[in-house]
Chain A
Amino acid sequence: MKIHEVEARKIFEAHGLPVPPSRLVESPEVARQAAEELGCPVVVKAQVLVGGRGKAGGVKLAGTPSEAVEKAEAILGMEIKGLTVKKVLVASAVDITREFYAGLVIDRRSRKPLMMVSPAGGIDIEEVARTAPEKILKVVIDPMWGILPFQVRRMTSFLSGNRDVARQIGRALTALYRAFMAVDASLAEINPLVESPDGKVWAIDAKINIDDNGLYRQKDITELRDDSAEDEGEVEARLKGLSFVKLEGNVGCIVNGAGLAMATMDMIKHYGAEPANFLDIGGSSSPEKVLAAMHIILRDRNVRSILINIFGGITRCDDVAAGLIEARKQLGIDVPLVVRLTGTNEDKARELLGGTELIPAATMDEGVRKAIEMARA
């Protein structure tokens, strides 16, 4: 789960990172008040859950309270990568002498937290990794020890020759690690961490992604979820316990299992059409889930046919068939449904579907071809 910069700043601050004061505002007039209270200059920053806000014009400097109003007016309502800006953060601006990068992820290779720092802050770290990998230092952290003092020293001496600045960066990195572990983060990033002309170190941006699997023990963070940043269908799917991603094509699919769902999309593309979605109904085959899945897919007006691809193991094919018949009745579905059911109780399922308008397919391959044919008809 992604959280807004304003919330990430609060988490960083609570763990001892130096973050310039700020106010979250929803109207230009309140932006004036915030700028007056904080003292100018201030930075006005769009609060949307995508990267590249600066490049899109969603981050602006304001020298006076009136300018803060102007900038807030320009940014509020703006669209960034398809998301409308509803709130802006007005933050005290910091003069910058140097910009650093500091980030933490769970490293899949070492299966441990990995901290990355770079003296080339303020730009996309993946760009730095491509063009100047020697400017990135990576340190694997033992979760049972936490970040060790020698590791902090290695990183700070890599970043700054100034002893006082290095000490402040060291404290910031330690705080970053603590914040990361405390909130079940899968990613935490300060880009940039800056040094100001008076030799002070500040985190002037904040990004945290939370591991969805850890949310059950992060109640405060769960409440921060911003549904407006997601596709409506994706929100509904999450609430119904389904995994759904909307795509641009016209062949819908409902599949049990994430790997098989991806393989189904890939096969649709392989045979020359475009999938409308990724949808994994999971291991359970309750008619309610099938109904919810249908409802979500049919929100998308582009969908011309739907393929139901089930490899029943634990999932019983006759259960899915019953759910499909019910869904067709309740939702008044008018797009063709191609059904491939293999595995447990497939014969029973075939009997159930016999007298209906559902189109049977014996294999995944046949199902995909038929669904494409129907979408084109």
Chain B
Amino acid sequence: MSVLIDRETKVIVQGITGRDGAFHAKEMIEYGTQVAAGVTPGKGGQKTDCGVPVFDTMEEAVRATGANTSVIFVPAVFAADAVCEAADAGVSLVVCISEGVPVQDMVRVLPYLGERGTRLIGPNCPGIISPGKSKVGIMPGDIHREGPIGVVSRSGTLTYEMVYHLTRNGLGQSTCIGIGGDPVAGTNILDAMELFAGDEQTEALVLIGEIGGSDEEEAAAVIEAGYPKKVVAFIAGRTAPAGKRMGHAGAIVTGGTGTAAGKVAAFEAVGVEVAETPEEIAGIVKNLL
């Protein structure tokens, strides 16, 4: 069944005439994603090299195509506006790839989305893929296979590494959601777990967390209270020093909270096995199934 996206998902690419937007629109189409339209203000009326019609506004693009999802590649300065525009145009899912969005913008954007019932993935994320069905993001499609494992991650390339091992070991994926590395995200680990809880295709969930915040500790509490899927975890940043931001805006240990040790302990206390290296994950998942 997969979550959030499937074969029916119709996507609009915001920022489709930019370097990244153009490249990934093409990649998504090659993967089989239905890319219905692109939006770049001031460039409406054109068609991209792949034949995708470009509109000036999201409102026009949605009206003309009936798309239900958008993926955003605009510079961070314009990202909050682009997210709100997508929600206002009525799409139910927005995936914001853009990195560097001010956290105070996100704080204001999220209530706006809430009022319109729009879900946001990101910002600063690789996007979502339901292997064999649709890809709305920037991850390399060829490392994925369709299967029973759900993946939720705060990271990009680390997720590719983990998925690579899963696939090589015959463990395909239902959906992989990269929720992004910012402190305030549209969808956090708990929200993503809720989505997977009701998905028939998903038999086990791989949570890829990292230092900073308390999503993982809260996830452990949810699992203890009774979560319908088996869960395996990996936590990045065991060797990260306190008080230093490790690349991601949200990856920082402050005042003794958000440490990898605390997160690992929280998972182990509720019986969730935590892999020590990315390679170990496949073996642990296999034993579980």
A residues contacting B by CB (< 8 A) are: 106, 108-109, 111-113, 126, 142-144, 181, 184, 186, 211-214, 216-217, 243, 245, 247, 255-263, 265-270, 275, 278, 280, 311-314, 342-344, 363-365
Contacts and interface: CB of A to CB of B under 8 A. Distances in A.
Contact of B155 (A126, A259, A312, A342): A259
Contacts of B214: 108-109
A300 B188 CA distance: 37
Given A106-B183, A245-B244, A269-B238, A344 B104 contact: no
Nearest to B212: A108
Given A266-B237, A278-B247, A314 B138 contact: yes
Given A106-B184, A181-B104, A270-B277, A213 B249 contact: yes
A214 B140 CA distance: 30
B251 interface: yes
A257 B156 CA distance: 7
B246 A106 contact: no
A320 to B, nearest CB: 13
A120 to B, nearest CB: 16
Given A245-B241, A263-B278, A186 B103 contact: yes
A319 to B, nearest CB: 14
Given A144-B111, A313-B138, A342-B164, A259 B104 contact: no
A311 B161 contact: yes
A111 B160 CA distance: 28
A259 B103 contact: no
A365 B247 contact: no
* Most A-side CB within 10 Å, residue of B77, B181, B246: B246
Interface string B133-164: 00000111001000000000111111111001
Interface of B: 23, 76-77, 100-104, 106-108, 110-111, 138-140, 143, 153-161, 164, 181, 183-184, 188, 208, 210-211, 213-215, 218, 234, 236-241, 244-251, 255-256, 260, 276-279
A212 B248 CA distance: 11
Nearest to A180: B104
A211 B103 contact: yes
A258 B108 contact: no
Nearest to A249: B239
A225 B223 CA distance: 44
Contacts of B102: 184, 211, 213-214, 217
Given A142-B111, A259-B156, 17 more contacts: A106-B183, A111-B106, A143-B107, A258-B246, A258-B248, A259-B248, A260-B155, A262-B210, A266-B239, A269-B239, A278-B244, A280-B247, A313-B157, A314-B23, A343-B143, A343-B160, A365-B279
Given A259-B210, A313-B138, A247 B107 contact: no
Nearest to B188: A108
A342 B165 CA distance: 12
A266 B279 contact: no
A267 B247 CA distance: 18
A247 B239 contact: yes
Contacts of B140: 312-314, 343-344
A346 to B, nearest CB: 11
A290 to B, nearest CB: 16
